[in-house]
Amino acid sequence: MNITKIKIFLTIIAVIVLVSFKPKKDYPFPFLDPDLSIETRVNDLVGRMMLDEKISQMMNDAPAIERLHIPQYNWWNECLHGVARAGLATVFPQAIGLGATWDENMMLKVSTAISDEARAKHHEFVRKGERSIYEGLTFWSPNINIFRDPRWGRGQETYGEDPYLTGRLAVEFIKGLQGDDPKYFKTIATVKHFAVHSGPESSRHTFDAKIDEKDFRETYLPQFEMGIKEGKAYSVMCAYNRLNGEACCGSNHLLTEILRNEWNFKGYVVSDCGAIDDIYERHKIVETPAEAAALAVKSGCDLECLSTYKHLKEAVANKLITEAEIDVALKRLFTARFKLGMFDPPEMVKYTKIPYSVVDNKEHHQLALEAAHKSIVLLKNENNLLPLNKNIKTVAVIGPNADEATMLLGNYNGTPSDPITPLRGIREKLIHSKILYAQGCELAEGLSSIKKDSIEKIKQKAIQVAKESDVVIMFMGLSPNLEGEEMNVAIDGFKGGDRTKLDLPSNQEALIKEIKSLGKPVVLVLLNGSALSINWENKNIPAIIETWYPGQAAGTAIADVLFGDYNPAGRLPVTFYSSVNDLPSFDEYNMTTQTYRYFKGNVIYPFGYGLSYTNFHYDNLKINHQNKAGSEVKFSVDVKNIGKVSGDEVVQVYVSNKTSTGHIPIRALKAFKRIYIKAGETKTVNLSIKPDAFSIINDDNKRVIVPGKFEVTVGGGQPDVKIRTASNVLKTETIIM
C-alpha cells in the first residue's frame, strides 16, 4: 500500500471515529447518569443526602430536594378497578366483580388498560407541573385479603374468599400494572393488606387477629406469596391490625422473616395510612411516636403513609435506630423510583410515549363492557324466563339501584365520562318498547331523609307501573354508601361500613314481596359488593342475576344479559349463606366454618356457582401423573356445549385430601379455566395441578407434600353440593400420590 492510500485510509478511520464518538454528558451528579447501574446511582444519591432530607423522603408526600434535582413525589395512588381519584378514567367492575369473571386473561387485559391510562395521566400531570396525591406511578392495589366473612364492608375490594382464585387473578393484575419491560416498571403494584386483615372496620386500628400458624399459612398467606413470587409485585402494604400480638407494620416476622427471607422480596413496604400512629396510640406496643417509627423501619416498613416518620430524627438522637438502618429503607424507595424511569431522559422509557388519548378511549370502553359481561352471575332462571323477548311491549324498571350511577362504581373508583345505569341500558336496548320507571323505595330505612308520605308515594308509583307492565325488572341490593371502608353508618343491618345482617334491607324485601304478589313475571337484579341471604327471593322470584358493582358499562351489560345478547357465565367468588347465624363471630380469624373450604351446612348458592343459557357436559377425563408425591398432575377433559346457545364455561378443579386428618379443608380449588364453546361444540381442556395442592401444614408448621389418597373433581362447580351450575356432570377420580 503506497503512502497516499495509507493517508486516505487513516483519514477515513479518523472521520468514522469522530462521527461515532459521542462525548459523555456532563451530569451534575453521577446518580443522574443513566449509563450507571441503579445500585450505583442509588448509593450515590443517598450518600449525598442529609438526615432531614432522608427522613422527608420516607413519607408518602415526599418534598422536592432542589439542590439534588429531586422532584416532589407523592407515593399515594389507587387503581383498584381503574385509575382512581384523579378525574377521568375508565371504570371497570369493582374487584369482587372481576373476581366473578374467573378469567386470568381478562384480568391481564384490564390491568394493562389501567396502567396505560395511569402512565398517560401521570405524564400529563407532570407536564402541568402537578405532582400531588393520586398523580404518581406507585399504586396501592390490588387488595388480596381473603373475604372470609361476608359482613366485611371492604370485601368488595377483594377477589373473593378463596386463596387460589385470589392469587391467580392477582398475579395477572400485577403483571398488567408493572408491564413487561426488562429495565423499567410501567407502574408499581402494591399487594395489600399484609397479612391478616378483613374486619371489623370499626376496630381495625385496635384488633389483634389471633390465629394459629396452620390457618395463617393455608388461608392468609398463599395469595401474597403468589403475588410476590409469580407476579413480582414490587410493593407490599402492611395492615393496621396486630397479628398474634405484633403490629403488622412493626412485625419483623412478617416483613423480614417471611417477606424478605422466605420469599426473597426485593421491593419496598408501605404502611397503611395512620398504621404507624396505631402502634403507639392504639395498640400501645410502644409509648412514643419516635419508638413506633423506629420499630416500623427496623422491622422492614420502608415508607409511611402520613407523618409519624418525622420523629425518626428524634429516634436517631435517642439511639432507637441508626442512620444506616434508615439508609436501607431509603435505598429501597429510590430504587423503585429509578426503576420507574423518574431520573432518566423520557425518551429512554417506552411508557412515556403512551399518549393521553388512551384515557377513556373506545377500546377501553369496550373492554369495560366485556369485563362487566363476564362478571355477571345468573343465580336462578326458573322455566327459562330469561332471556326476555326484545319485542315485549311494556317493561317496569323498579328499584333504588335502577338509575343511580353511584351503585355502578363501588369504592376506590375513577370518574367515567359516560356511566350507563341499568335504566338507560334497558331503554337503549328496547327502543320500540314502553319503559316505565319507579324508584320504589330507599336503599335502606334511615339512609336518607325522605319523609314517610313521600316514601309511600314512591312505593305506590312502583306498584302502579308494575300493574301496567308485561314484566317487572327490579334493581335492588346494596351500595358503597352502606358497605365500605370505616364509614359513619349506623342503621339496621349496617355498622361502620360492615354489615350486621346478610339479608337485603327490610324495606327492599317488603317491596319485592308486594310487587311479586301482583302476579307479574319478576326478574331480580342485584347490585352489591358482598353476599346476600336472599332466602325468600330465591324461593319465590323466578329469575335472579348478580351484577356486583359492575362499572361504567353496567347498564349495557345487564341489558345484554337480560335480553339474550350475552350469555352469562360469571361464577360466584364467595359463598351465599342462608343466614348470619351460619357464621362464627366476626372477629374469629381461625378457620372454623368460614368459606366453602370449611363450611359443611346448606347454602343458598355455593362458591363457584353460576348458571348459563346453555348446558355443558364433561367426559373423557384423563389424568396423567407420576404417582409420586411432589409431582405435577396434568390432565385433560372434554367439555361439550349440549345446548343451543354458544357461551363460556368455567372449568373448575377441586382437590380433597382423603388421607390426612385434623384441620384440613373439605376441598380446595386448585385449577380453573374459562373457555368459550359454541353450541354443539366439544373442546378438550388441558390443565395441571401444582404439587403444593397435595401438601399440608404439619405439626411443626412447615408445608410438606405428603403421600396419600386425593380426590380430584373436574366440572363446572363444586362436587357434593345440592345446587348445580351450568354443567350437569362432574368427573371425579381418586389418585394415589
Positions annotated as catalytic residues are 272, 483
Cell of residue 17, nine digits: 471515529
d(CA 397, CA 473): 5
Cell of residue 187, nine digits: 407502574
Task: Please spell the DSSP secondary structure of 172-238, one letter per residue.
Answer: HHHHHHH-S-SS--SSEEEEEEESS----GGGTTT-EE---HHHIIIIISHHHHHHHHTS---EEEE
Report how far Cα 617 is from the mean position of its chain's Cα atoms. Answer: 31
Torsion region of 412: left, alpha or beta (phi above 0 gives left; psi -120 to 50 gives alpha):
left
Instruction: Report yes or no: 613 and 564 within 8 Å, Cβ to Cβ.
Output: yes
Cell of residue 65, nine digits: 430536594
Task: Please spell the DSSP secondary structure of 542-577, one letter per residue.
Answer: SEEEE--S--TTHHHHHHHHHTTSS------SS-B-
Secondary structure element (H or E) that encloses residue 688, with its range? strand 682-689
Parallel, antiparallel, or unpaired for β 543-546 and 616-624? unpaired
Reduce the DSSP state of residue 88 to 3 states and report it: strand
Could you give the angle at the alpha carbon of 244 between the alpha carbons of 243 and 250, nearest 5°? 50
d(CA 30, CA 15): 30
* Other beta carbons within 10 Å of 596: 23
Taking the CA atoms of 652, 144, 361 and 559 in sequence, report the sign of the dihedral they define: positive
Cell of residue 31, nine digits: 446518580
d(CA 615, CA 652): 15
SS3 content of the chain, % helix, strand, coil (to 5): 35, 20, 45
**Amino acid of residue 324:** A
